[in-house]
Amino acid sequence: MQGIAYWIEKRAYLHPDRIAIITDEEEMTYKQLHEYVNKVAAYFIYDLHVQKGERIAILSQNSLEYIVLLFAIAKVECIAVPLNIRLTENELIFQLKDSGTTVLFVEETFQNMALSMQKVSYVQRVISITSLKEIEDRKIDNFEEINESASFIICYTSGTTGKPKGAVLTQENMFWNALNNTFAIDLTMHDRSIVLLPLFHIGGIGLFAFPTLFAGGVIIVPRKFEPTKALSMIEKHKVTVVMGVPTIHQALINCSKFETTNLQAVRWFYNGGAPCPEELMREFINRGFLFGQGFGMTETSPTVFMLSEEDARRKVGSIGKPVLFCEYELIDENKNKVEVGEVGELLIRGPNVMKEYWNRLDATKEAIQDGWLYTGDLARVDEDGFVYIVGRKKEMIISGGENIYPLEVEQVINKLSDVYEVAVVGRQHGKWGETPIAFIVKKSSSVLTEKEVIEHCRLFLAKYKIPKEIIFLKELPKNATGKIQKAQLANQLKSR
């Protein structure tokens, strides 16, 4: 197998004048992209004198140069370290030191912070990402052959239960993810996908930026997500595939421009990153759109499950079936397979599963056992083989010996039209062990009360599953990709 930069080289050979990338300011053909990647790769070798395996970090919003850097890093067999721009300086310093990063590319906004971080890390060079446009155009006729099992990227997990861990993905992992996604949603060179997730997140890279380029299609890369602008770009560039997390889809459909935007080219709205409320999915489906859901993790490059277009309407709420080159099992506490309809921990196996956690041997051994990745997610499978995520193993609430899955309670509360967002967490209780508490963000102008929510829950849930308190907030805490940070909510309960 060739390295992932070969995708661009091959596409440049097959159809050099086809557009590869469109950003807010410019567009670039496959030939131009290939030449740009080679120029930056040569810069790494001749000017920066980087060695194979050296870590190169990127601190930037989405841009054409971000994509170029990723492929150039792969071409010289270094390791990319994408940094979350929403983290504090101390959090970023931890990741820079933990990864042993020596070169840091930044956009101008973060230049001063980067120089400050350089003083307390192993970073030797801080380089403006925009300066790549000005580097000398050196030619390298033949780059060294790539080892496909070489580490390509270190993606740090959110670290909600401690210090974040760096999931190490190889170039081979990225190849299999691209192949899995290409087959799963029939990606072709005629597809145009918009990158609404940040490229410092594996979802931004793997869904569907890299797979679309692998297929020879076009990726549209706005600098950051803004609903009105995103809808405008979807219409203007005839986007066919839209990937987002629930907060993105909610923002799109709530946008005043949604109903008047021409979205006829879109063949597929896709949700990942966090479970999507069924009511939100139905809002898209009732408007005639195909809205599918899948499942993936940073540790799996990320795609594992996908709900096909033909099943999107009849299996609402399911994450689908495993993609072609991936398999799963559901096991109980004794590591026995569970029966149809029963809840078990989700295990994953396939060539898309990460190599390791960076410098975390014990964590790697705990996560990967006998070739299986233990996800910590709880799921069930129906009689037709479709899988449904029930919740996180660590988030499961045990009240009086009964298991309560927060997602089930959240789905019931989301049926209320006045609810914008909800998160259910457990609170310690002297008698019952834990009890469920619901945090709710109401839609604007809503006068929804705690009593109304509890009365609604009584219609659908057993008594022990009904939240014992409803807490209304203006917003829920989220990470950079829109995932609700339940650990922060649990901490709020401790201080109440």
**What is the torsional sign of CA 351, 357, 360, 364?**
negative
Distances (CA, A) of 432 to 108, 263, 392, 453, 491: 53, 50, 20, 22, 19
Q: Tell me the average pLDDT across 27-49.
A: 97
Q: Tell me the average pLDDT across 239-264.
A: 96
Looking at this protein, which amino acid is placed at residue 483?
Answer: K
Describe the strand order of the beta sheet including 469-472 as a list of residue ranges.
419-429, 433-442, 469-472
Query: pLDDT grade, residue 1 (50/70/90)?
Result: low
d(CA 438, CA 450): 10
d(CA 257, CA 11): 36
Q: Which residues pair with 271 in a beta bridge?
A: 244, 293
Domain residues of the chain, as ranges? 5-381, 396-494
Would you tell me how many other CB atoms lie within 10 Å of the CB of residue 339? 11
Query: pLDDT grade, residue 194 (50/70/90)?
Result: very high
DSSP-derived letter for residue 27 is E
User: Phi/psi of residue 28, each to 5°?
Assistant: -145, 135
pLDDT over 90 (residue 377): yes
Higher pLDDT, 119 or 482: 119
Instruction: Supply the pLDDT for residue 146.
Output: 87
Instruction: Supply the pLDDT for residue 162.
Output: 66
Q: Tell me the average pLDDT across 27-43.
A: 97
DSSP-derived letter for residue 226 is -
Percent of the chain whose predicted confidence (pLDDT) is above 70: 98
pLDDT tens readout for residues 279-321: 899 899 999 999 989 999 999 999 999 998 778 888 988 999 9
Instruction: Supply the pLDDT for residue 278.
Output: 84
d(CA 404, CA 192): 41
Query: pLDDT grade, residue 240 (50/70/90)?
Result: very high
| Residue 317: both structure tokens together | 């709420």
| Residue 383: both structure tokens together | 């009689």
d(CA 337, CA 314): 26
What lies within 8 Å, CB to CB, of 361 at 6+ separation is: none
pLDDT tens readout for residues 129-163: 999 999 999 878 778 888 888 999 999 986 555 68
| Residue 265: both structure tokens together | 């080219």
E strands, 321-432, are 321-322, 327-331, 344-349, 356-357, 368-369, 372-381, 387-392, 397-399, 402-404, 419-429
Q: Which residues pair with 294 in a beta bridge?
A: 306
Q: Which CATH number fits domain 396-494: 3.40.50.620, 3.40.50.10070, 3.40.50.740, 3.30.300.30?
A: 3.30.300.30
d(CA 166, CA 153): 9
Looking at this protein, which amino acid is placed at residue 308?
Answer: S
Does an H or E element contain 116, and which?
helix 111-118
Instruction: Supply the pLDDT for residue 160.
Output: 52
Mean pLDDT across the chain: 95
DSSP-derived letter for residue 337 is B
Instruction: Tell me the pairing of strands 321-322 and 303-306.
Output: antiparallel
Q: How many CA atoms lie within 13 A of 191 on its CB side?
A: 23
pLDDT tens readout for residues 116-130: 999 999 999 999 999
Instruction: Supply the pLDDT for residue 401.
Output: 87
Distances (CA, A) of 488 to 88, 94, 376: 16, 20, 19
DSSP-derived letter for residue 71 is H
| Residue 451: both structure tokens together | 């009593």
pLDDT over 80 (residue 433): yes
Query: Rg of the chain's alpha carbons, rounded to an integer?
Result: 23
Q: Which residues pair with 369 in a beta bridge?
A: 372
Fold of 5-381: Rossmann fold (3.40.50)
| Residue 443: both structure tokens together | 């839609």
Would you tell me how many other CB atoms lie within 10 Å of the CB of residue 426? 21
| Residue 147: both structure tokens together | 């080892």
